[in-house]
Amino acid sequence: MTIRFENGIVATLGSQNRLLWNGAVVAEGEWVVAIGDASAMAKRFPKAEVVDCDGKIILPGFICAHHHFYSTMARGMAPPGEPASNFVEVLERLWWKLDYALSKEDVLLSAQIPLIECIRNGTTTIIDHHASPSYRDGSLDLIEDAVREAGLRASLCYEVSDRNVPGGGIAENERFIKKIGKGDGQIAAMMGLHASFTVSDETVEKCVGIANDAGVGCHIHVAEDLADRKDSLAKYGLPTVNRLHNLGVSGERSIFVHCVHVDEAEMELLADTETIVVHNPESNMNNAVGVTQVLKMLKKGVLVGLGTDGMASDMLSQMRCAYLLHRLDNRDPRVAFMEAPKLLLQNNAEIAERQFGLRLGEIAEGRPADLAILDYHPPTPLSEANFLGHFIFGLTDANVDTTVCRGKVLMKNKEILTMDEERIAARSRELAPEMWKRL
């Protein structure tokens, strides 16, 4: 099928970085085949189906480099007992109870709901990190089916840890990695690990062996809280990044999530090994764990991307949060204007390319037709030169109207076309209180 998305403002981003008023993007099958003036594209592709984008801006679909679909049913829940006073208590009293309570249907609904929210927010590619110890084997297949039904792209993994059983989850990852193989561009697989402080050397070595054999990276939380660094120093005499590097976890496909408590030498090791870091500012603020030194890491050449850590599926608000956080943290109103958008627009595309083997994050001929189309009437002139000003201060508040992934329209006029949002939310409201009782 050929579709002309026309009469909108097209911001291609990527290496060409063009901004076209009254432009059109033409998709054929899963790919963009042409971009240009709307009337010229209408002449060249007269038989194409038309999606009118008047009053809208057409952007590449957004990428979330770290998500936890399984956290969905925590919304509105009152965790039992006293409020957690630190990060380890947050894990022990909330997340490790919640993931253990998830049933098969909870896992499915917990994926479907954020997938709907991703579509609503123009997030077309997600790198997820899953845990459900009571329904572990086959859980990644269930999530894969939900992603395919939604029509999005996702890289999936199961978080291995020794906290319930030694090496719990290794087999689920290994099975899924073998099943996905090189992937079809829609689903990719990684080797998931929870965090340094919940995995023994033996467990990590097994995971690394499987990942290396399959040519995939590891996806692990690193030094999110000071407790992870202290644990690594106490048990192994090494900072967290050094410990994981010595065990072979680092590398250009591997994602080290957070890296809040890392020293300069660790940052240099991350840069030297081309290991990916994913920053999750809202989550770090919510858990009060500290501020990742993103600007310093970028200066050292670390590839830093942006994720939500399960807090949300809206990448624009996450980008704006990073922008504000690093201005405040550095007490400097000159910084982060370039860097915060870069994490989302450039670095997440680079990270996704390492997982999917596809260049996402730009609208260009021959590239995947993944689009986020937002309502936007620019109140001041808009061009390539001042796009970031509109991006940070205008588009963060704009509504996504239409979402396209792999050339397929997943939402149009704000109506989700691939999933029954009302039915899924209603069923989740029924099951969530049952799950809460099992905590």
Judged by CB under 5 A, the number of residues near Zn ion is 1
Q: Which is nearer to Zn ion, 174 or 309 (CB)?
A: 309
Contact region with Zn ion (CB under 5 A), list: 212-220, 301-309, 344-352, 423-431:
301-309
- H or E segment and range at residue 421: helix 421-437
User: Measured from the CB atom, is 117 or 309 closer to Zn ion?
Assistant: 309
Give Cβ neighbours of residue 340 (< 8 Å, ≥ 6 apart). 319, 320, 322, 323, 326, 392
Q: How far is the CB of 257 from Zn ion (least distance, A)?
A: 5
Nearer of residues 122 and 310 to Zn ion, judged by Cβ? 310
Cβ proximity to Zn ion: between 129 and 408 the closer is: 129
Q: Are 103 and 435 in contact (CB under 8 A)?
A: yes
Which part of the chain contacts Zn ion (CB under 5 A), choosing from 238-246, 303-311, 394-402, 418-426? 303-311
Q: What is the DSSP letter of 158?
A: B
128 binds Zn ion (CB under 5 A): no
Q: Which of the ranges 135-143, 305-313, 321-329, 398-406 carries the binding residues for Zn ion, by CB under 5 A? A: 305-313
Minimum distance from residue 302 beta carbon to Zn ion (Å): 18
Give the shortest CB-256-to-Zn ion separation in angstroms. Answer: 11
Candidate ranges 153-161, 201-209, 304-312, 318-326; the one touching Zn ion (CB under 5 A): 304-312
Q: Which is nearer to Zn ion, 225 or 370 (CB)?
A: 225
The single residue listed with the structure tokens 């690594």 is 232
Residue (258 or 408) nearer to Zn ion, CB: 258
Helix (H, G, I), strand (E, B), or coil: what is residue 243? helix
Residues 236-255, interacting with Zn ion (CB under 5 A): none
Residue 309 within binding range of Zn ion, rule CB under 5 A? yes
State yes or no: residue 224 binds Zn ion (CB under 5 A): no
Nearest distance in Å: CB 346, Zn ion: 22
On the 0-12 / 13-18 / 19+ scale of CB atoms within 10 A, 100 is middle
CB of 350 to Zn ion, least distance (A): 20
Q: Are 130 and 141 spatial neighbours (Cβ–Cβ below 8 Å)?
A: no
Which C-beta is closer to Zn ion: that of 41 or that of 257? 257
Distances (CA, A) of 7 to 47, 117, 214, 356: 17, 26, 45, 31
Position closest to Zn ion via CB: 309
Closest to Zn ion by CB, 231 vs 401, is 231
- Cα 301 to Cα 109, 304, 305, 383: the distances in Å are 39, 9, 12, 29
Nearest to 408 by CA among 43, 124, 87: 124
Rg (CA), the chain: 21
CA 405 to chain CA centroid, Å, is: 15
CB of 310 to Zn ion, least distance (A): 6
| Cα–Cα distance, 55 to 21 (Å, whole number) | 10
User: CA-CA distance, 393 to 386, in Å (whole number)?
Assistant: 11
Query: Considering beta carbons, is residue 277 or 369 the nearer one to Zn ion?
Result: 277
User: CA separation (Å) from 224 to 265, 278, 391?
Assistant: 17, 11, 29
C-alpha 13, offset from chain centre: 19
> Smallest distance from the beta carbon of 67 to Zn ion, in angstroms?
8
Q: 């807090």: which residue's tokens?
A: 311
Q: How far is the CB of 222 from Zn ion (least distance, A)?
A: 10
The tokens describing 258, both together, are 């957070």
Q: Binding string to Zn ion for residues 379 to 408, with x set by CB under 5 A, is what?
A: ------------------------------
| CB of 282 vs Zn ion, minimal distance in Å | 12
Which of the stretches 109-117, 159-167, 175-183, 306-314 binds Zn ion when contact is defined by CB under 5 A?
Answer: 306-314
Binding site for Zn ion (CB under 5 A): 309
